[in-house]
Amino acid sequence: MSILVHNISGSPMGWRVLLGFAFKGVDYEVNYLNGSEREHKQPRYLAINPHGKVPAVEYNGEIFLESLSILGLLDNWFPERPLFGSSPDSMKRIWRTTTRHSDYLLNATNAVVFPVFNGSEGEPKLDPADPNQIARASKLLKTELAVLEQLLQNGAFLCGEEPSAADAVAFPDVARVMRAWETKPASMKLFGIENFHEMFPLLSAWQGRISVLEGVASTRPPHWK
């Protein structure tokens, strides 16, 4: 039974679902919508997701929406290599970590990478009415990255020795921060990210570890290649 994921290149919520399939070793196809042409707001896609958001997954003749619920369903459809753990204790830890990062890390990442990617190098696109924007966003992001760094003191992945939903959710955001730092270092310096590898050595190693897992390379946003 084929699986089709509708996604937009660079969308963290679409990327986390692709990682869920990759961690499980399950094959899927991706339909990349053209975000700049607003393909996700055209009637054809709105018939799939009336909110005009990605991801959406077509499987078994049904359409599934909402990235976290799709990750949860993956364990139902493909029980091997569970994304949400196999004991009540690991399940509790993974759900808590996954939902925390789905919310705080995503927002903290957006607060920094949106102005950086949308501005020119050394001149992030800031809101002129908000003099504290850089200081606030910098603090938010560094706090969230420090939480991840701390978790990685306990194991190779965020919730232990196997990749879980928590890694699938955090990876795209950390990758976006690293991408911003690699492509716009002067802008990222303004936000207090000067040398990502030195500031967050465990996170940096974790990124490398996940990047080489089977099936992960092809989940990278095509427009980054």
Residues that bind ligand GSH (CB under 6 A): 11-13, 40, 52-55, 66-68
- The β-bridge partners of 3 are 59
Residue pair 120/190 in contact by the 8 Å Cβ criterion: no
For 10-56, give the DSSP string.
T-HHHHHHHHHHHHHT---EEEEE-TTTTGGGSHHHHTT-TT--S-E
CA distances to 68, 71, 104, 108, 165 from 100, in Å: 12, 15, 6, 12, 12
Question: In Å, how far are 80, 173, 184, 217 from 152, measured between CA atoms?
Answer: 24, 16, 26, 22
Distance in Å, CB of 32 to ligand GSH, minimum: 12
Query: Which one, 53 or 93, has the nearer CB to ligand GSH?
Result: 53
Cβ at position 114, least distance to ligand GSH in Å: 12
Residue number with CB closer to ligand GSH (90 or 107): 107
- Find the shortest distance in angstroms from Cβ 122 to ligand GSH: 27
Task: Give 102 or 204: the residue with its C-beta nearer to ligand GSH.
Answer: 102
Shortest approach of ligand GSH to residue 13 CB, angstroms? 4
User: Is the CB of 11 or the CB of 204 nearer to ligand GSH?
Assistant: 11
Report the nearest approach of ligand GSH to the CB of residue 76 (Å). 17
Q: Which of 8, 20, 14, 5 is closest to 215 using CA atoms?
A: 20
Query: In the complex with ligand GSH, which residue's Cβ is closer, 12 or 82?
Result: 12
- Rounded to a whole number of angstroms, the minimum distance from the CB of residue 186 to ligand GSH is 26
Nearer Cβ to ligand GSH, position 100 or 139?
100
| DSSP state letters, 100-117 | HIIIIIHHHHHHHHHHHH
